Structure 1
Amino acid sequence: MLLFQLPEDVLYHILSYLDCKTLSRLSQVSKVICHIVSRDVVWKNIAKGLLNTGITRYWTDIYPHILLKDRVKTAQNWCDGVCKRSTPLKWKTKLLPWIQLDGDTLFLSQAAEIRSYPLRHGCKKIRYNPVKVYSGHQADVCRFVLTDSHLISGGSDGKILVHNRRSDSTMKLFGHNQEVNCIDSRNELIVSGSRDQTIKIWTLASSCPRDLIPLYDRVWSVVINPTLSSFVTGTACCENLSPLRIWDVERLECVCSLGSDFRRGAGVLDMVFETPFHLFTCGYDTFIRLWDLRLSPQKSVMEWEEPHDSALYCMQTDGNHMIASGSSYYGVVRLWDKRLTECLQFFQLSSDLVSSPVYCLRFSSSHLYAALATALHSLDFRHNLNITIR
């Protein structure tokens, strides 16, 4: 029996032991073999060990619509730092923008508005006209979050707006006394934090808060656990309290505090739940920290330090090996491999004369977008570099 006369499941199992170079050469033998080698099951083991292929630590696939073979090629560019840089959007006034990605749509806050731009391939010119504009705040938007059906924003006017993405309706919540620094939402639950040192819990069914928790410190970040049973708050660390605390959603009690050696002023600016048990945090103390909530809360299980002693404003993970972070000086974006202690790649997006923090960053399988004070920057890691905002 010839090799390619074997049953498919046996053949795919054999091919899964080959490396990238061997599979690439094998795919050039014939069209039939090329079709077999291009199947995702052949590349899954390879993709598991690379950066940002969409295969998470629990083998779920974030980008099932993209061939895994193509994602493996792009992953090498992420690792090597090979990309094409561009500035799709610029504005004259210095802002504190925030961005979110939803498929092929990018949402960007500019002053008191949130604008959505479609990301299209093959377009050489840039059109600055957004597809949709979400407005209603009387001052700058500080943060916003996307759900399947809603866009929920918090502003420096203290208001929280719930925009229905399927219609033009907007519900205004009775927000905070000062700016809403952070907001998160899952299912029908909304949690907001403010400079007024309080956390408020809302549901989409009511414009009044369900509960209020005083924290006695400015709240910079909040994130809801995927299980919906708890949420984590990150404060400015200006009081004799840990800046990281976990709260039970129903009992409204502090379940525990994370860490015991935060210095004064080490505020937590961004947090990400990678799994219900794994929490990443970053902030003014220049560290990215990984917390395993199943273990002792006194110490993080891993740490990565920003080498230039810059505060870390934002971060995102790929669910497997990669972390991307944005720092407070010169628009520096860093890529980290969790298996290493040193930074893997870094990109300086602002000039030495005009320094700006990276206020927010988001990435897809092929692009990284970073929002600075006066521009949106794009890093394209594909072999075929022809995407822009239209």
Structure 2
Amino acid sequence: MVGGDRSALRRGRKSGGPPCFLDLPDDAIFAILTYCDPATLGQLSLVCRRLNNLAAQDCVWLPYRRKLFGPVNIRKTFKPPSVKAQCEVAVNWKAGSPREVCLISYATKQIPWIQLYDDNLWVSEEQEIRCHPASAKGIRAQSCKSLKPGGQDISRFMCKDGRLVAATRCACISMFDLSTGDRVQHLQHCHQSDIHCIDFHGDVIVSGSRDSTVKMWRQSASSANDVLLKTVHIGSRIWSLCISPDARFLITGTAGWNDVAPLHLWDMNTGQFLGNLGENYQEGAGVLDVHFKDEHLAFTCGYDTYTRLWDLRQPLNKHVGKWEEPFDYTVYCVRSDQERSFVTGLSHHGLTRLWDIRHSQPLQMLYSSCKQSSPVYSLAFESSRMYVALDKAVLLFDFNRLPKSKQRRRRR
């Protein structure tokens, strides 16, 4: 519908001529628009205001959104984008054409950890955790709040239920109230070595350490000896752990040495060992990250270059999904959009991959522009933006906006 055809569409009944396309009721026009491709819909939206409004409705673009791949989760506190806008973002994900922005840069190399919580980005930097507030345009580079657990550098933290629990390399655990920023609990000498991972639910905190132990703590203002609930000696370094959203299960990931299985499943209520996840692992196939997709499905990844999906309702020795890293890189972290997409962070060149659980091959890969080769230590993403933590920077990949060079090409 181009050229002189547009003038025909603009003629109404005032001209006294035969009825035209715009004389049709809205439901009839919607039925016709379902047969148009995206390019035709874009041209029709330039004809007049009425067609512009009708061609932008969600019911017109839903069939195309179902065919496109890419994250579908959206922010909860901001107005959800239209389905048309989601289609545009999905095309940018597929094309691998985001705008890259360096949010934070470090003078020395670190192992930072990041998490999106309440639309704010929380970032660890040496001995403090900073909050970078969000707006409709993205995350601000300037922080608005800083939490300092004390002691050595922060190894891991977790935000949940209005609280933040952080673990340091000197085996200390601190809990903060995010509404006030006050520290409500501080435990010292919790392990005999570095704490690598931590999670909590309700008043129970779970920590895993280099000393091959997993410990459960009760939230209290007392000393560490008074709040220790349980200690489990596993026999291999604990690299990762995660509590299921319904607090029924705990998955721990080990280094996979000394004939110890890389993945263990526990009952959170009783502390009982339920079994190993998977079998026939290679020696040293450590699990570096565990992430629950929902109450029953969990992603795991690590040194053996595989990302696996486990269904805790199925036999524990078999996974329900398995994706191999094409470049044979270690998979440092994995995050899901709670639907069908997930992103993995790899050990070289700041490389991340976008996957769809229905496909065995990755949909897209993104390299950071950093000159040095850095692992992706942690990542967070939503429908239109992805945040990547490297050894000397935290980067933002914005899929709402294209780089200037690609904007010029699209205009041409």
TM > 0.5: yes
Q: Of residues 144, 149, 162 in structure 2, which corresponds to 1:136?
A: 149
Question: Taking structure 1 as reference, are residues 349 and 38 closer, same or farther at Cα in structure 2, changes over 3 Å only?
Answer: same
Is residue 282 of structure 2 the alignment partner of residue 268 of structure 1? no
Question: Taking structure 1 as reference, are residues 93 and 15 closer, same or farther at Cα in structure 2, changes over 3 Å only?
Answer: same
Counterpart of 1:295? 314
Deviation at 1:29, TM superposition (A): 5.2
Question: Taking structure 1 as reference, are residues 61 and 88 closer, same or farther at Cα in structure 2, changes over 3 Å only?
Answer: closer
Deviation at 1:15, TM superposition (A): 7.0
Counterpart of 2:396? 378
Identity %: 34
In 2, the alpha carbon distance for the partners of 1:68 and 1:74 equals 10
Q: How many equivalent residue pairs?
A: 377
Which of the pair has the greater relative contact order for Cα pairs under 8 Å at 6+ separation? 1
Kept in 1: contact 2:149–2:166 (CA 8 A): no
Is residue 358 of structure 2 the alignment partner of residue 343 of structure 1? no
Deviation at 1:3, TM superposition (A): 6.0
Question: Taking structure 1 as reference, are residues 135 and 317 closer, same or farther at Cα in structure 2, changes over 3 Å only?
Answer: same
Question: Taking structure 1 as reference, are residues 261 and 138 closer, same or farther at Cα in structure 2, changes over 3 Å only?
Answer: same
Kept in 2: contact 1:98–1:108 (CA 8 A): yes
Is residue 141 of structure 2 the alignment partner of residue 114 of structure 1? no
Kept in 2: contact 1:54–1:61 (CA 8 A): no
CA RMSD of aligned residues (A): 3.1
Tell me which amino acid in the other structure corresponds to 1:86.
V
Is residue 338 of structure 2 the alignment partner of residue 319 of structure 1? yes
Report the secondary structure of 1:47's partner residue: helix
Deviation at 1:68, TM superposition (A): 2.7
Counterpart of 1:165? 178
Deviation at 1:12, TM superposition (A): 7.8
Deviation at 1:52, TM superposition (A): 3.6
Counterpart of 1:308? 327
Is residue 165 of structure 2 the alignment partner of residue 152 of structure 1? yes
In 2, the alpha carbon distance for the partners of 1:38 and 1:365 equals 19
In 2, the alpha carbon distance for the partners of 1:233 and 1:301 equals 18
Which runs of 5 or more residues in structure 2 are unaligned? 1-22, 405-412
Q: Which structure has the greater CA radius of gyration?
A: 2
Kept in 1: contact 2:174–2:187 (CA 8 A): yes
Kept in 2: contact 1:51–1:79 (CA 8 A): yes
Kept in 2: contact 1:200–1:209 (CA 8 A): yes
Deviation at 1:49, TM superposition (A): 4.1
Question: Taking structure 1 as reference, are residues 314 and 209 closer, same or farther at Cα in structure 2, changes over 3 Å only?
Answer: same
Kept in 1: contact 2:134–2:140 (CA 8 A): no
Counterpart of 2:100? 85
Is residue 238 of structure 2 the alignment partner of residue 216 of structure 1? no
Deviation string, structure 1 residues 183-235 (Cα, Å, up to 9, x no partner): 12334443221112222223435652332222222111111112211111111
Counterpart of 2:250? 231
Question: Taking structure 1 as reference, are residues 179 and 13 closer, same or farther at Cα in structure 2, changes over 3 Å only?
Answer: farther
In 1, the alpha carbon distance for the partners of 2:120 and 2:76 equals 20
Counterpart of 2:81? 66
Is residue 213 of structure 2 the alignment partner of residue 198 of structure 1? yes
Kept in 2: contact 1:53–1:72 (CA 8 A): no
Stretch moving more, 68-77 or 203-212: 203-212
Q: Which runs of 4+ in 1 moved over 6 A?
A: 10-18, 60-64
Question: Taking structure 1 as reference, are residues 127 and 224 closer, same or farther at Cα in structure 2, changes over 3 Å only?
Answer: closer
Tell me which amino acid in the other structure corresponds to 1:71.
Q
In 1, the alpha carbon distance for the partners of 2:244 and 2:146 equals 30
Question: Taking structure 1 as reference, are residues 18 and 90 closer, same or farther at Cα in structure 2, changes over 3 Å only?
Answer: same
In 2, the alpha carbon distance for the partners of 1:238 and 1:122 equals 46
TM-score, normalisation: structure 1:
0.86
TM-score, normalisation: structure 2:
0.81
Deviation at 1:335, TM superposition (A): 1.7
Tell me which amino acid in the other structure corresponds to 2:239.
W
Deviation string, structure 1 residues 251-287 (Cα, Å, up to 9, x no partner): 2111121110211111101111112221111001111
Question: Taking structure 1 as reference, are residues 383 and 84 closer, same or farther at Cα in structure 2, changes over 3 Å only?
Answer: closer
In 2, the alpha carbon distance for the partners of 1:13 and 1:185 equals 51
Kept in 2: contact 1:315–1:324 (CA 8 A): yes
Question: Taking structure 1 as reference, are residues 127 and 324 closer, same or farther at Cα in structure 2, changes over 3 Å only?
Answer: closer
Tell me which amino acid in the other structure corresponds to 1:153.
A
Question: Taking structure 1 as reference, are residues 284 and 42 closer, same or farther at Cα in structure 2, changes over 3 Å only?
Answer: same
Tell me which amino acid in the other structure corresponds to 1:280.
F
Question: Taking structure 1 as reference, are residues 12 and 205 closer, same or farther at Cα in structure 2, changes over 3 Å only?
Answer: farther
Deviation string, structure 1 residues 60-113 (Cα, Å, up to 9, x no partner): 999862223212210111111011122222111110000111244211101111
Report the secondary structure of 1:343's partner residue: coil
In 1, the alpha carbon distance for the partners of 2:179 and 2:186 equals 17
User: Would you tell me which structure has more helix in proportion to its own residues?
Assistant: 2
Deviation at 1:166, TM superposition (A): 1.0
In 2, the alpha carbon distance for the partners of 1:122 and 1:251 equals 45
Tell me which amino acid in the other structure corresponds to 1:274.
K
Tell me which amino acid in the other structure corresponds to 2:264.
R
